[in-house]
Structure 1
Amino acid sequence: MTHILSIDEGTTSTRAVAFTPEGRIGGVHSEEIVQHFPQSGWVEHDPAEIWNKTLRAANRVVEDVGAQSIAAIGITNQRETIVFWDRRTGDPLAPAIVWQDRRGAAICADLKARGLEDDVQGRTGLLLDPYFSASKIRWALENWPEVREAAKAKRLAIGTIDSWLIWRLTGGLHVTDATNAARTLLMGLERCTWDAGLAALFDVPLDALPEIVDCAGRIGETRLIGARAIPISGCAGDQQAAAIGQVCLDPGAVKSTYGTGAFLLAHAGATPPVSSNRLLSTVAWRLGGRAAYALEGSIFVAGSAIKWLRDQIGIIASASETAELAASVPDSGGVAFVPAFNGLGAPWWEPEARGIIAGISGGTTRAHIVRACLEAMSLQTADLLDAMRRDGVSPSLLRVDGGMVANDWLCQDLADVLGVTVERPKVVETTAIGAAMLAAVGYGLFADLESASVMWHAERRFEPALDEEARSVRKTNWATAVRQVMAGLPE
């Protein structure tokens, strides 16, 4: 058995990757996932599509490398997205409500107005925001009769994408790992158990939730991939998997992933960190019943802004054009792009915010707009890193991954704006490597994550080349644009 199979189910695609224990890719297959936008601020997926395309991608890879070569399976997934299904039939009862979806904003606003956010944050490490799963679940129970009736009949199963896939792969095992459970607003952070008080606060039936398990171990078994029994021995949410795949195993190590959104995680050790700057405290992983923790900042729009420029606005034909266009002009020409398509994440947490492109003049070209879009990635990251520094995390090195960081111009701009060294791995889709590392540890190929870190390899470093004055000017201009967004919010 020479491969670990990673299932990496993301927001816009699902992919399967077969890794050797040395971290080499033996096979990969990807399937696009359709996003549905029923109305402003709503984002949905079809759970059946996710399942069918995930299974197809996994079996395509197994055909390439041979079923007998697969030792174990690791799963990583978009996190806060929530699925509702009938535990008797296994069929979805409604669309999946995606992590970007903001329909729970009124529920969260009401709880905030009641002065409950500090208590909720103290229990979960999270803030009251519709980003997280609990308000999505409550909304579904209140608005979708099929979901509500299933709950009354004790037929309802609720889970994040990992839970949905494991249920289908195993024929009915209802579990989730601690990193995904930590993103629901329903799990007590210190004990990694469902909190009955939080479930009551959001009117979520505890009997519909999955069992919380470790991120590595004999989680389950499937016979639907490769027509033989293969253990599922690793599972983690995508950002935690990326931190593991980037070998952020020591306190203070920081990574940032640039996919549909962008997420900065700093390993915080064995004690949940407490942020004074509206960052999140979350589970980094749980092994052997013991949790490690992380400090996190979330950016809701990253790669999806480039996709918007391509598909909605039509000023680029492909993402690969953006580096050359950005380099073709000396600066953004005064243009600032705040891509708040689905609200603003950390450190603002404004679900009603919407994006702007400011500073347009008669001399503005598509190159200026594209450059401003890429610059927004660096400037949003700078806001998060500055917040982390105020919380006591001051890294000199940032490891980056995700599809966007194949762009050399963006990596250099990150180094320039952040004022730190940026390191890129050979395989930028490190969520899949992290899932493979967990599965390899759970299966017994490696004794621990430190041993499994041989699967990670560095490719290139980018050093800061921007002087402090120029860096300060860019950050000041960005702050002005964000204030314009905030000024447009309803009273």
Structure 2
Amino acid sequence: MMNYIISIDQSTSATKAVVFDEQCRLVCRKNVAHHQYYPKPGWVEHDAEEIYRNTVEAVREVVDATRNDGATYSLAITNQRETVVVWNKNTGKPVYNAVVWQCQRGEEICEDLKKRGFTEFIRERSGLLIDPYFAASGVKWILDNVDGARQSAEQGELLMGTIDTWLVWKLTEGKRHVTDYTNASRTLLFNIHTLDWDDELLNLFTIPRSMMAQPLPCDSVFGETTVDGVFTEPIQIAGVLGDSHGALAGQMCFEPGMGKATYGTGSSVMVNIGESAIAAPEGLVTSVGFAAQGKVFYAFEGNIHCTGATIKWMTDNLKLIDSPAEIEGFATSVKDNGGVYLVPAFAGLGAPWWHPHAKAIICGMTLATEKGHVCRAALEAIAYQIKDLVDLMTGQAGIALKELRVDGGPTKNGFLMQFQADMLNACINRSDVEEASAMGAMVMNGLARGVWSSLEEVAALRSSDNRIMPQMADAERNQLYDGWKNAIKRTLYN
């Protein structure tokens, strides 16, 4: 008899159903895209009912592909985090489209709170920056701008939730209005110290407490569902967490000092800082990393604008290389960077520099500079930016980086991964996990249902062990990084 865990990975562009067995092996997956709505410049919306229909369809497809005599199933959820839905609990209908995390309609609301001096107060309670990226301003906008919404909310008729909450409510036919600590910690309304909704934060955003879901640890049982008739008997919904947190758990970063970096167009970096909600360095955020086995692990998180995008720029704009795959060959054709540094401030500089108007530069070139030096400088810049963030996080938390677990297309570049290990002076563990977020939800599902009894037992199932160890001497590392910091200064004062 096969026991399958279906992880719903509900992302910004699509809903994916990923089937795992209880040995953490991926069995099957199906993907159903949904529409993006842009009613005004800077506004982004999704149809929450379409997302639910797509969830049912994706589950139906993977069950049809894997069903056999005696097969059992349970459901886990990981999701785009800050996207928020407001719906009428009596009709089950959203009062407005879902406001997506990319949407900027809440900017005026956030700016007003900053001007009124609430930045530090909100940061202390929620761990977050005041920004329309997070869910609260989207909810307030709906209540303030949709006819009758404010009155209905005050009368206790409306509910709100991130996408996990909406899906669980729909899947349980309105029986369960719940969320997990990680998604809750991305709303600007959740007190990460008390692990509950904060009445003063709710009041600042004028959101009635009656709208809020019950927050639970990630490894909870969230309800039961037939998935709109896909199953004749209800199955358990167990294991819920936001997608970046899912990747942290899916990479099995269960110990303080373990971090994950996803290399894509930009890069997302998250480091497990342990069981204390330490204030993040300026410009970064503190969130619940994950909550399991009676413990809550917190994480620092930061994002880098341009990593893989730099290589794409060299390919598409400069035509310096024909494809991203070529860059490693050119980078290793020279013995060092020849003093050349590329600072990819194409969209300004983020943490720890915080200079939104900085412009990209290539500096240190001489008549001896070759294509290889520029290619090498571009790859080195990715590693320097990751180091900037990791050093900031570990320094603030007072911990050493034990290991950085990495995923994404650029991790196939051997030079980049070795240079990253050298710069961090720490082990890089390159993952072969294709669905890290979905695997994280699957892990929480198994813990909730008693498949595994501890995080250590789960960690032993990790199949990937592609470790890259640092090889560079301290003096060389410091010299190269000093050169990077000097290049940054040229960028800032250019």
Does TM, normalized by the shorter one, top 0.5? Answer: yes
> How many Å apart are 1:160 and its aligned residue?
0.8
Give the equivalent residue in structure 2 for 1:471.
Answer: 480
> How many Å apart are 1:194 and its aligned residue?
0.7
Give the equivalent residue in structure 2 for 1:245.
Answer: 250
Q: Kindly indicate whether residue 324 of structure 2 is the aligned counterpart of residue 322 of structure 1.
A: yes
SS at match of 2:344: strand
Please say which of residues 36-45 and 126-135 is displaced more in the overlay. Answer: 36-45
SS at match of 1:338: coil
> How many Å apart are 1:190 and its aligned residue?
1.7
* 1:246-266 Cα shifts (integer Å, max 9, x gaps): 222222222223457633222
Distance in 2 (CA, whole Å) between partners of 1:358 and 1:384 is 20
> How many Å apart are 1:403 and its aligned residue?
5.5
Q: Kindly indicate whether residue 231 of structure 2 is the aligned counterpart of residue 220 of structure 1.
A: no
* 1:380-429 Cα shifts (integer Å, max 9, x gaps): 32221121132113214211134654555553453344343210122142
> How many Å apart are 1:17 and its aligned residue?
1.4
SS at match of 1:17: strand
Distance in 2 (CA, whole Å) between partners of 1:357 and 1:80 is 30
Q: Kindly indicate whether residue 141 of structure 2 is the aligned counterpart of residue 136 of structure 1.
A: no
Distance in 1 (CA, whole Å) between partners of 2:357 and 2:138 is 20
Give the equivalent residue in structure 1 for 2:241.
Answer: 236
Q: Any residues of structure 2 matched to 1:257-272 within 5 Å, and which?
A: 257-258=262-263, 262-272=267-277
Give the aligned residue type for 1:468: R
Please say which of residues 56-65 and 460-469 is displaced more in the overlay. Answer: 460-469
Q: Kindly indicate whether residue 280 of structure 2 is the aligned counterpart of residue 275 of structure 1.
A: yes
Q: Is the 8 A contact 2:342 2:378 kept in 1?
A: no
Give the aligned residue type for 1:458: S
Give the equivalent residue in structure 1 for 2:18.
Answer: 17
Distance in 1 (CA, whole Å) between partners of 2:302 and 2:146 is 29
Please say which of residues 181-190 and 37-46 is displaced more in the overlay. Answer: 37-46
* 1:154-173 Cα shifts (integer Å, max 9, x gaps): 33221111112112222112
Q: Is the 8 A contact 2:311 2:324 kept in 1?
A: no
Give the equivalent residue in structure 1 for 2:467.
Answer: 461
Q: Kindly indicate whether residue 265 of structure 2 is the aligned counterpart of residue 296 of structure 1.
A: no
Q: Is the 8 A contact 1:117 1:127 kept in 2?
A: yes
Q: Is the 8 A contact 1:4 1:18 kept in 2?
A: yes
Distance in 2 (CA, whole Å) between partners of 1:70 and 1:307 is 45
* 1:252-305 Cα shifts (integer Å, max 9, x gaps): 2222234576332222333222335443222122346x4413231221646894
Distance in 2 (CA, whole Å) between partners of 1:38 and 1:304 is 30
Distance in 1 (CA, whole Å) between partners of 2:37 and 2:376 is 28
Q: What number of residue pairs does the alignment pair up?
A: 477
SS at match of 2:460: helix
Distance in 2 (CA, whole Å) between partners of 1:145 and 1:465 is 63
- Going from structure 1 to structure 2, the CA distance change for 1:406 and 1:124 (only over 3 Å counts) comes to same
Select which of 392, 395, 404 maps to 1:387: 392
SS at match of 1:414: helix
Give the aligned residue type for 2:209: L
> How many Å apart are 1:440 and its aligned residue?
0.8
Q: Kindly indicate whether residue 94 of structure 2 is the aligned counterpart of residue 92 of structure 1.
A: yes
Give the equivalent residue in structure 1 for 2:448.
Answer: 442
SS at match of 1:122: helix
Distance in 1 (CA, whole Å) between partners of 2:316 and 2:95 is 31
Distance in 1 (CA, whole Å) between partners of 2:464 and 2:190 is 35
Distance in 2 (CA, whole Å) between partners of 1:51 and 1:302 is 33
Q: Is the 8 A contact 2:287 2:301 kept in 1?
A: no
SS at match of 1:255: strand
- Going from structure 1 to structure 2, the CA distance change for 1:166 and 1:61 (only over 3 Å counts) comes to same
Give the aligned residue type for 2:14: S
Q: Is the 8 A contact 1:284 1:293 kept in 2?
A: yes
- Going from structure 1 to structure 2, the CA distance change for 1:277 and 1:153 (only over 3 Å counts) comes to closer
Q: Kindly indicate whether residue 260 of structure 2 is the aligned counterpart of residue 255 of structure 1.
A: yes
Q: Any residues of structure 2 matched to 1:406-417 within 5 Å, and which?
A: 406=412, 408=414, 410-417=416-423
- Going from structure 1 to structure 2, the CA distance change for 1:185 and 1:345 (only over 3 Å counts) comes to farther
- Going from structure 1 to structure 2, the CA distance change for 1:135 and 1:374 (only over 3 Å counts) comes to farther
Q: Is the 8 A contact 1:279 1:295 kept in 2?
A: no
Q: Is the 8 A contact 2:17 2:55 kept in 1?
A: yes
Distance in 2 (CA, whole Å) between partners of 1:315 and 1:9 is 36
**TM-score, with length taken from structure 1:** 0.83
Give the equivalent residue in structure 1 for 2:436.
Answer: 430
- Going from structure 1 to structure 2, the CA distance change for 1:124 and 1:424 (only over 3 Å counts) comes to same
Give the equivalent residue in structure 2 for 1:169.
Answer: 171
Distance in 2 (CA, whole Å) between partners of 1:474 and 1:388 is 21
Please say which of residues 175-184 and 80-89 is displaced more in the overlay. Answer: 80-89
SS at match of 1:216: coil
> How many Å apart are 1:69 and its aligned residue?
2.6
Select which of 110, 127, 132 maps to 1:108: 110
Distance in 1 (CA, whole Å) between partners of 2:143 and 2:316 is 33
Give the equivalent residue in structure 2 for 1:184.
Answer: 187
Give the aligned residue type for 1:16: A
Give the equivalent residue in structure 2 for 1:118.
Answer: 120
Identity of aligned residues (%): 35
Distance in 2 (CA, whole Å) between partners of 1:470 and 1:393 is 24
* 1:27-46 Cα shifts (integer Å, max 9, x gaps): 12223444445555443333
SS at match of 2:62: helix
Select which of 119, 126, 129 maps to 1:127: 129
* 1:320-371 Cα shifts (integer Å, max 9, x gaps): x42324543566976542354xx87654678xx478554499x999999998
Q: Is the 8 A contact 2:358 2:491 kept in 1?
A: no
- Going from structure 1 to structure 2, the CA distance change for 1:200 and 1:213 (only over 3 Å counts) comes to same
Q: Kindly indicate whether residue 28 of structure 2 is the aligned counterpart of residue 27 of structure 1.
A: yes
CA RMSD in angstroms, aligned pairs only: 3.8
Q: Kindly indicate whether residue 407 of structure 2 is the aligned counterpart of residue 401 of structure 1.
A: yes
SS at match of 1:468: helix
Please say which of residues 91-100 and 69-78 is displaced more in the overlay. Answer: 91-100
Give the equivalent residue in structure 1 for 2:201.
Answer: 198
Give the equivalent residue in structure 2 for 1:157.
Answer: 159
Distance in 1 (CA, whole Å) between partners of 2:119 and 2:76 is 34
* 1:212-257 Cα shifts (integer Å, max 9, x gaps): 1221232111112742321111111122222222222222222223
SS at match of 1:179: helix
> How many Å apart are 1:18 and its aligned residue?
1.1
